[in-house]
Structure 1
Amino acid sequence: MSAHLPDDRDAVREALIAWYEDDHREFPWRRTDDPYRILVSEVMSQQTQLSRVEEAYADFLDRWPEVADLAAAERGEVVSFWSGHSLGYNNRAKYLHEAATQVVEGEVGPADRPPGGGETAEAGGEFPTDPDDLQELMGVGPYTANAVASFAFNNGDAVVDTNVKRVLHRAFGVPDDDAEFAEAAADLMPDGESRVWNNAIMELGGVACGKTPRCDEAGCPWREWCHAYQTGDFTAPDVPTQPSFEGSRRQFRGRVVRLLGEHDEMDLDTLGHRIRVDYTPHGEHGREWLRELLSDLAADGLVQIEERNDLTIARLR
């Protein structure tokens, strides 16, 4: 399959934007251009089901409504919140807290920018508006930086996630190659409209062009140009499946962090019995298994372990 983008790019763009603006999923982060709130939503959405994200997002902003509130919080509180809402990968909470501190302390963005400007500046610093500068924030990679630049400042490049890749591969025969996807996505995006365009094309992949396509049911606006719709060949690049959360190491890591957030410290066996019913000190899921779990959390900078009076003691950092 070789890429074949339509000659009439404007018609393709107008059709997609009109489809999106006529009807789309109403996520709360789509109703704001606050970079802090958008960053929170983007970090939460990484490999996490959106149904879990919506509730956690609202609770998080109730607790820390502004970037300065998050920067002033204890990191352990933020990590405990993350774990308690089953968001997984607790180091993302640590990075988000550090990013808030960077913004408030004015550690990111162009060195020659004038002080002040915008609501965030009142908190002591301001978010950078450029994808490259946004990557200076702890834990913010190219994708997240571009998403924040797009949705907060309308200043991003074309987003290329798994949904977008699926759409471009099926509709226009773009080969399964990251460089090819990036080039095609950039070619299609209208200048200066990254906010609406990136939202629209991701919505298309999430609603109409999922693993099981719903072309007619969702009223896909690209049917007249779509190679897959015309040929019936809806193959797409393989998308890694999210491992089951129930019974996973991620689940038990979350339980450890949540319990340590509720107690100053816990010894190994007390912690083990609290996080799983089949814990036995010398069993398959016993002390050795739990030590490995705690070592992983310690390596991520989330947990501190010490030996005291023949006991292994764990606490949040």
Structure 2
Amino acid sequence: MTDQSPATDLPGDVPADPSAVQRALVEWYEDGHRDYPWRQTDDPYRILVSEVMSQQTQLDRVVAAWEDFLEEWPTVDALAAADRAEVVGFWTDHSLGYNNRAKYLHEAARQVTAEYDGEWPRDPEGLTELMGVGPYTANAVASFAFNNGGAVIDTNVKRVLYRAFAEIHNADDPDYETVANALMPPGESRIWNNAIMELGGVACGKTPRCDEAGCPWREWCHAYQTGDFTAPDVPTQPSFEGSRRQFRGRIVRLLGEHDEMDLDTLGHRIRVDYTPDGEHGREWLRGLLSDLADDGLVQVEEGDDQITARLQ
């Protein structure tokens, strides 16, 4: 790791020369960290798949899905050539969250092969041109694939910064981005972002494990020194069982098995208590189909005497 030279414009209680802070974290990370397979590659395709899958799923659950996905579509060319319904069906079968993410990942693969001749954009700005790739994901892929990103700021990183630095802890509107980028050694986004995210995931979770995990920032940490381990609320995922997301997934899976289905047949297949005029009846089902149509996943046709649905 290249130490950052002393600076005078670092925010608040970030040390003017942060090299000791940087070294401590990177050495802690290199000494032993969770060995996720996407940390062993700099292939932007494999990293993008891991980032999209991780948006709604715990990392330990992502591993098997990631490996299965890459066994099915090992390269960006293979994914680009795949049938969209098969990709969406995989997403549903592995409970990976909103199906439009599968659609966007598929479209991004087509862009890379058709519009970029297989050459991936190498910076965050270029990566945001890909379908469904927002600023956070673009920065993560640029960092982990090309070592060419800024500081990644996710929930774990915010929690670390909030606890570690009094300026963040005491601010009404914390400037996480400025502090995170001030701490990151120039040109070291790959290892730094992995390290600080690991710190938040292993040592500085909702229940901190400072001593048990050997947190490398204890001597600088505001929370460790004061005993105040409050942190911003961490959003909890809504229950999947019985959710609209679950029934959307069932619809996509069924339509992937049939050319088309009429409204009531589809309704009875996705839930046992479906009644056309009931609480979970035609109006409820048409709302789900409308959402899927807006995502470009389903096509709904209204005839004289029935409504049918099929995958786009």
**TM-score, with length taken from structure 1:** 0.91
Match of 2:210 in 1: 215
Instruction: Find out whether 1:203 has 2:198 as its counterpart.
Output: yes
Q: Within 5 Å, which residues of 2 pair with 1:126-275?
A: 126-173=119-166, 174-175=168-169, 180-275=175-270
Q: 1:102 aligns with which of 104, 108, 111?
A: 111
Classify the secondary structure of the residue corresponding to 1:313.
strand
What code does the residue aligned with 1:154 have? N
Q: Is the 8 A contact 1:35 1:152 kept in 2?
A: yes
Question: In the alignment, what sits opposite 2:298?
Answer: 303
State the alpha-carbon separation in 1 of the partners of residues 234 and 59 from structure 2.
Answer: 17
Q: In 1, distance between residues paired with 2:302 and 2:159? A: 51
Q: Paired residue for 1:13?
A: 22
- Determine the C-alpha separation between the residues in 1 that align with 2:245 and 2:36: 26
Distance in 2 separating the partners of 1:56 and 1:177:
40
CA–CA distance in structure 1, aligned partners of residues 51 and 41 of structure 2 = 13
Moved >4 Å (runs of 4+): 175-179
In structure 1, how many angstroms separate the alpha carbons of the residues matched to 2:99 and 2:240? 14
Which whole-Å deviations, capped at 9, do the CAs of 1:128-179 have from their partners, x for residues lacking one? 1111111110110110000000000111101111110100010112156777
Shift of 1:52: 2.8
Counterpart of 2:186 in structure 1: which amino acid? D
**Contact 1:260 1:315 (C-alpha < 8 Å) held by counterparts:** yes
1:69-128 CA-partner distances (Å, limit 9, x unpaired) = 011111111111111111111111111111111100134xxxxxxxxxxxxxxxx42101
- Which digits, 9 at most, give the CA deviation of each residue in 1:42-77, with x for residues without a partner? 011112222331111111101110000011111111
1:79 counterpart (78, 85, 88): 88
Counterparts in 2 of 1:250 and 1:25: CA distance versus 1, 3 Å: same
Distance 2:279 2:293 in 1: 22
Contact 1:166–1:209 (CA under 8 A) maintained in structure 2: yes
Per-residue CA shift, 1:254-304, capped at 9, x if unaligned? 111111111111111111111112212221111111110111111111100
- How many Å separate the matches in 1 of 2:183 and 2:294? 42
Q: Which runs of 5+ in 1 are unaligned?
A: 108-123
- 2:42 maps to amino acid: D
Shift of 1:191: 1.0
- Residue 246 of structure 1 deviates from its aligned partner by 1.0
Unaligned runs of 5+ in 2: 1-10
How far apart, in 1, do the equivalents of 2:34 and 2:233 lie?
Answer: 25
Q: Which amino acid aligns with 2:225?
A: Q
Paired residue for 1:53?
A: 62
Aligned length: 300
CA 1:177–1:100 in 2, change beyond 3 Å: closer, same or farther?
A: farther
